[in-house]
Structure 1
Amino acid sequence: MAGHSKWANIQHRKGRQDKARAKLFSKLSKEITIASKMGGPDPDMNPRLRLAVANAKGQSMPKDNIERAIKKGQGGDVEEYFEIRYEGFGPAGVGLIVEASTDNKNRAASDVRAAFSKNGGNLGETGSVSFMFDQVGEIRFPLSIGDEEAVLEAAIEAGAEDVTQEEGSEDEEGEHVIFCAREDLAEVSEALEGRFGEAKSANIIWRPQNLIEVDGDKAATLMKLMEALEDLDDVSNVYANFDISEDEMGKLAS
Structure 2
Amino acid sequence: MAGHSKFKNIMHRKGAQDKKRSAMFSKLSREITVAAKMGMPDPDMNPRLRAAVNAAKAQSMPKDNIQRAIDKATGGEGDNYEEIRYEGFGPGGVSLIVEALTDNRNRTATNVRTAITKNGGNMGTAGSVSHGFDRLGLISYPASVGGEEKVLEAALEAGADDITSSEDGHEIWTAPDALHEVAGELEKALGEPESAKLAWRPQTTVEVDEGDAGTLFKLIDALDDDDDVQTVWGNYEVSDEVMEKLG
> C-alpha distance in 2, partners of 1:5/1:145?
18
Counterpart contact for 1:6–1:244, Cα < 8 Å: no
The alpha carbon displacement at 1:38 in A equals 2.5
Counterpart contact for 2:9–2:233, Cα < 8 Å: no
The alpha carbon displacement at 1:60 in A equals 2.1
Q: Could you tell me which of 210, 213, 218 is aligned with 2:212?
A: 218
1:24-35 alignment runs, 5 A limit: 24-35=24-35
Residues 116/77 of structure 1: CA separation in 2 closer, same or farther (3 Å cut): same
Residues 5/137 of structure 1: CA separation in 2 closer, same or farther (3 Å cut): closer
The alpha carbon displacement at 1:76 in A equals 3.1
Counterpart contact for 1:138–1:185, Cα < 8 Å: yes
> C-alpha distance in 1, partners of 2:76/2:227?
22
Counterpart contact for 1:10–1:252, Cα < 8 Å: no
TM-score when normalising by structure 2: 0.93
CA shift digits 1:26-73 (9 cap, x unpaired): 211111111222224222332221221122122222111111111122
Matched, 1:3 2:6: yes
TM-score when normalising by structure 1: 0.90
Residues 5/78 of structure 1: CA separation in 2 closer, same or farther (3 Å cut): closer
Counterpart contact for 2:58–2:194, Cα < 8 Å: yes
Paired position in structure 1 for 2:99 = 99
Counterpart contact for 2:7–2:202, Cα < 8 Å: no
Residues 25/4 of structure 1: CA separation in 2 closer, same or farther (3 Å cut): farther
Residues 189/76 of structure 1: CA separation in 2 closer, same or farther (3 Å cut): closer
- Whichever residue aligns with residue 10 of structure 1, its letter is K
Matched, 1:60 2:60: yes
Matched, 1:230 2:218: no
Paired position in structure 2 for 1:248 = 242
Counterpart contact for 1:83–1:100, Cα < 8 Å: yes
> C-alpha distance in 1, partners of 2:238/2:60?
29
Counterpart contact for 2:9–2:231, Cα < 8 Å: no
Q: What count of residue pairs does the alignment treat as equivalent?
A: 243
CA shift digits 1:203-229 (9 cap, x unpaired): 100011111110121111111111111
Residues 6/195 of structure 1: CA separation in 2 closer, same or farther (3 Å cut): closer
- Whichever residue aligns with residue 58 of structure 1, its letter is A
Counterpart contact for 2:136–2:173, Cα < 8 Å: yes
Matched, 1:108 2:112: no
> C-alpha distance in 2, partners of 1:58/1:243?
26
> C-alpha distance in 2, partners of 1:19/1:131?
31
Q: 5+ residue gaps in structure 2?
A: none
Paired position in structure 2 for 1:171 = none
Paired position in structure 1 for 2:71 = 71
- Whichever residue aligns with residue 93 of structure 2, its letter is G
CA shift digits 1:107-154 (9 cap, x unpaired): 011110111110000000110000111010111111122211121121
CA shift digits 1:199-254 (9 cap, x unpaired): 1111100011111110121111111111111111110100000011111111222x
Residues 245/6 of structure 1: CA separation in 2 closer, same or farther (3 Å cut): farther
